[in-house]
Amino acid sequence: MEEALRQHYPEKEKNEIFNNEFLPHIRSMYNFGYRLTLDQDDAKDLVQDTYLKAYRFIESFQKGTNAKAWLFRILKNSFINDYRKKSKEPSKVDYQEVETYYNSEDVDRQITPDLRVEALKDMIGDEISNALNALDVDFRTVIILCDLEGFKYEEMAKILDIPIGTVRSRLHRARQLLKEKLSEYAKQMGYKNT
Amino acid sequence: MSQLTNPFIQPDGTKPSCMQMLQIILDEEATPEQKEFFAGHMDKCMPCFKTYEVDMTIKEMLRIKCRGDQVSHDLVEQLKNQIKQKIAI
């Protein structure tokens, strides 16, 4: 459908869009790239590649629409197609299991790590960043999109090419796993978890 | 405390669990009515209150520690220049 909305921008306007609508997101883009690859050079390559693609395909972008979501989508696809294939690390997540679990009644009876706010406030080092980085990349991604970048379900579904229900269940499971990780840190810091 | 109709109830009449309400709040998908209802609900539901506090603290920590704000100005400028050079603008 969006193919039909191809724009024809004069060169000057193309550059204006690029400078005013795309480039302001570069910090978030780099952070996303870094959180996906966990490598600064790979993140730089991903960001450059994303912006080059965005410029090349600028005519499929409609001025004034959600540039940030579009750029995130390009970066995510570049990561999957160009980077993830090379890194020999296929997703280890059994999504069927996640979905079934989320939609079952067990979801409210789960054992939530008894993590306390005081323990979290004592984590002044890299604990939260390490806990996030330790998540499987697909869980990490939804936390980044929702909690760091503030994307809505609908935007995340478009960026990730998955249904909204899957976004919701993946986020739920990601939060749970993040809490488990932080709970381990709290234990190491001497907080009793049970 | 006003007795509000639960705005989380779905059109088919399904009543959401505490966990489902909390997730809508955490994911920032709640309407103002849902937020108001949930704030009142937490006054009566200690497990929800405790989980909400922990989850919101984690969310805040993520924002403070893991967002792109930490990326240095020099790196951003370097990236911008490299990109601009490649597309010649």
Q: What is the pLDDT of residues B10-33, one digit of tens each?
A: 889 898 999 999 999 999 999 999
A-chain CB neighbours of B51 within 8 Å are 112
Looking at this protein, which amino acid is placed at residue B67?
A: R
How large is the average pLDDT for residues A145-159? 97
Distance (Å) from the alpha carbon of A57 to chain B's nearest alpha carbon: 12
* ipTM (interface pTM): 0.89
Task: Return the DSSP state at A88.
Answer: T
Query: What digits encode the pLDDT tens for the residues A88-100?
Result: 555 555 555 566 6
Residue with tokens 């669990």: B17
Question: Do residue A168 and residue B19 have CB atoms under 8 angstroms apart?
Answer: no
List chain B residues with pLDDT less than 70: 1-4
CB-based contact A130:B62 (threshold 8 Å): no
A-chain CB neighbours of B67 within 8 Å are 28, 31, 148
What would the two tokens of residue A130 be? 């390490």
Question: Do residue A143 and residue B61 have CB atoms under 8 angstroms apart?
Answer: no
**CA A124 from chain center: how many Å?**
23
Chain B residue with CA closest to A47: the answer is: B79
**CA A148 from chain center: how many Å?**
8
Distance (Å, whole) CA A91 – CA B56: 28
Name the least confident of A29-33, A126-130, A188-192, B81-85: A188-192
Question: Do residue A171 and residue B27 have CB atoms under 8 angstroms apart?
Answer: yes
Question: Do residue A120 and residue B23 have CB atoms under 8 angstroms apart?
Answer: no
Query: What digits encode the pLDDT tens for the residues A11-43?
Result: 899 999 999 999 999 999 999 999 999 999 999
Distance (Å, whole) CA A18 – CA B89: 9
Residue with tokens 């998908």: B29
Distance (Å, whole) CA B46 – CA B76: 45
**What is the value of pTM for the model shown?**
0.87
Cα separation values, A5 from A2, A9, A20, Å: 5, 12, 21
Task: Return the DSSP state at A106.
Answer: G
Res. A147: pLDDT tops 60: yes
Question: Do residue B58 and residue A179 have CB atoms under 8 angstroms apart?
Answer: yes
**Composition of chain A by helix, strand, coil, percent to 5:** 70, 0, 30
